[in-house]
Amino acid sequence: MSGMFSGCSSLKELNLNSFNTNNVTDMRRMFNECSSLNKLNLNSFNTNNVTDMKRMFNGCSSLKELNLNSFNTNNVTDMKRMFNGCSSLKELNLNSFNTNNVTDMRGMFSRCSSLKVLNLNTFNTNNATNMSYMFSRCSSLIELNINNFNTNNATNIKGMFSDCSDELKLKIKSQFKNFE
């Protein structure tokens, strides 16, 4: 399903309830640049076999509601820029995400400028090697729970919090050892 709806910039609604995704391994760029899409419910998606979710919602700038509660991300290794540019998202529940195997989280939430609170307490970053610009330009973010983040294997955390609020940076400094 790589790039399936990529570039559908005029698409406003999409009902995918009847999609059978049981055997899908690649969802990269699936909704890339669907800039008019404002609501997406993917509760019916079976993502058990998916390994690549890079840029899945990249550039979905009008997206206000995104339901990923049923997502199984146990096998995913790449989440690079997954939500990059989702500038209308005010909340995002990723409690169901298992990030044990993810190695690339570069720019994952970059330019999510309307996000105010993000709880990533369930994220396991032990295998993440690239976390650069992960929260870059999240200018409204005031609460970020990354208490369980481990950056020991990360080779790149450059600009992880660039252009975030000073309020957030102060909070992060106290809970994040390798703060840049």
Rounded distance between C-alpha atoms, residue 133 and residue 106, angstroms:
6
Q: How far apart are CA 29 and CA 34, in angstroms?
A: 10
Q: How far apart are CA 10 and CA 37, in angstroms?
A: 8
DSSP-derived 3-state class of residue 169 = helix
Reported as a single tens digit per residue, the pLDDT across 121-132 is 999 999 999 999
Q: Percentage of the chain surpassing pLDDT 70? A: 96
The kind and range of the H/E element at 40 are: strand 39-41
Average pLDDT over residues 9-20: 93
Q: What is the Cα–Cα distance from 103 to 6, expressed in whole angstroms?
A: 24
Give the predicted TM-score (pTM) of the model. Answer: 0.94
Note the pLDDT tens digit of each residue in 168-179: 888 887 666 555
Q: Give pLDDT, residue 169.
A: 83
pLDDT in tens, 109-162: 999 999 999 999 999 999 999 999 999 999 999 999 998 888 889 999 999 999
Read off the tokens for 106: 């570069």
In degrees, to the nearest 5, what angle opens at C-alpha 158 toward C-alphas 106 and 101?
A: 35
